[in-house]
Amino acid sequence: MAGSPADDLARRLGIGTGRIAVPAGLLAILAGAALFVFPPHSTIAAIALGLAGVVCFAFGSLRLAGGPWWAFAAALISGGVLFAALTVGGRGLALNTFGGSQICEVAQRQEVDTAGRYQHYGFVHTLNCPRGGTFTIRTDATDRQPPGSRAEVLGTPGGVLEPDFAGRHNVIVEALAVAAALALAGATVHFTWRRSGVRSAS
């Protein structure tokens, strides 16, 4: 009896492919997030590497599970959630871990038209800070600060990490989000790897 298209794809990928692709995909997701949070802060390269990792993780999980599309969908979702949590939550956690906060004055706010890429306007804030001098922070409309106001800013010595408004980051929420994303990805790996062991034994 002919197998499903997913089964045929899984067989063509080879039995060892999943056991290589799953950890390789996870490593690419972690590397992409690190490239986003830490220098050189290459957003385009980070997103490209992270998305490649998610796809690699999904196809590897598909192979380990023996071809069912639920494994591909679960890995695609959990991998995407992990990358999002590590980039968004990881930035706040890194700033709180390696940096500190200070009260800065918003010297200037410039509106930037981002309609070509996003369906809203962005804002570039120039801040004068007692430690570190002048910083620039980009936000969307919901996080904009009026010129002349004072705001708490998270930053690192020497500007190693890109500064951000402290109000945009909740350490507890971000830590829980990263932990939940790691747990979801770990559960996906556990079930697909366990299914792979059952298939090998049979």
89 and 121 inside one domain:
no
Report the alpha-carbon distance of residue 167 to residue 164 in Å, rounded: 9
58 and 119 inside one domain:
no
The predicted pLDDT at position 76 comes to 95
Q: Report the number of distinct structural domains present in the chain.
A: 2
Burial (Cβ within 10 Å: 0-12, 13-18, ≥19) of residue 84: middle
Residue 139 φ/ψ, nearest 5 degrees: -140, 170
3-class DSSP state of 170:
coil
Residue type for position 182: L
Residue holding tokens 């804030």? Answer: 125
The pLDDT-based confidence of 8 (bands split at 50, 70, 90) is low
The pLDDT-based confidence of 174 (bands split at 50, 70, 90) is very high
Q: Which of 59-63, 80-84, 167-171 has the highest mean pLDDT?
A: 80-84
**Residue range of the domain that includes 82:** 15-96+171-201
Report the run of H or E that residue 97 belongs to, with start and end.
Answer: helix 69-98
For residues 159-180, give the mean pLDDT: 92
What tens digit of pLDDT does each residue of 116-133 get? Answer: 555 557 889 999 998 878
Beta bridge partners of 136: 126
56 and 107 inside one domain:
no
Give a yes or no: residue 163 inside a domain.
Answer: no
Give a yes or no: residue 67 inside a domain.
Answer: yes
68 and 28 inside one domain:
yes
User: Lowest-pLDDT range, 25-34, 43-52, 71-80, 126-135?
Assistant: 126-135
109 and 192 inside one domain:
no
Give a yes or no: residue 160 inside a domain.
Answer: no
24 and 81 inside one domain:
yes
40 and 139 inside one domain:
no
89 and 178 inside one domain:
yes
124 and 71 inside one domain:
no
Tell me the pTM: 0.79
Give a yes or no: residue 118 inside a domain.
Answer: yes
The predicted pLDDT at position 139 comes to 85
Report the alpha-carbon distance of residue 42 to residue 170 in Å, rounded: 24
Give a yes or no: residue 123 inside a domain.
Answer: yes
Examine the pLDDT at 201 and tell me if it is beyond 50: no
41 and 140 inside one domain:
no
3-class DSSP state of 133:
strand
Give a yes or no: residue 38 inside a domain.
Answer: yes
21 and 57 inside one domain:
yes
Give a yes or no: residue 1 inside a domain.
Answer: no
Give a yes or no: residue 162 inside a domain.
Answer: no
Contacts within 8 Å (CB) and 24+ apart, 95-100: 95/154, 95/155, 95/156, 95/161, 95/163, 95/164, 95/169, 96/154, 96/169, 96/171, 98/156, 98/160, 98/161, 99/154, 99/155, 99/156, 99/157, 99/161, 100/154, 100/155, 100/156
22 and 120 inside one domain:
no
The predicted pLDDT at position 81 comes to 97
The pLDDT-based confidence of 186 (bands split at 50, 70, 90) is very high
The predicted pLDDT at position 65 comes to 79
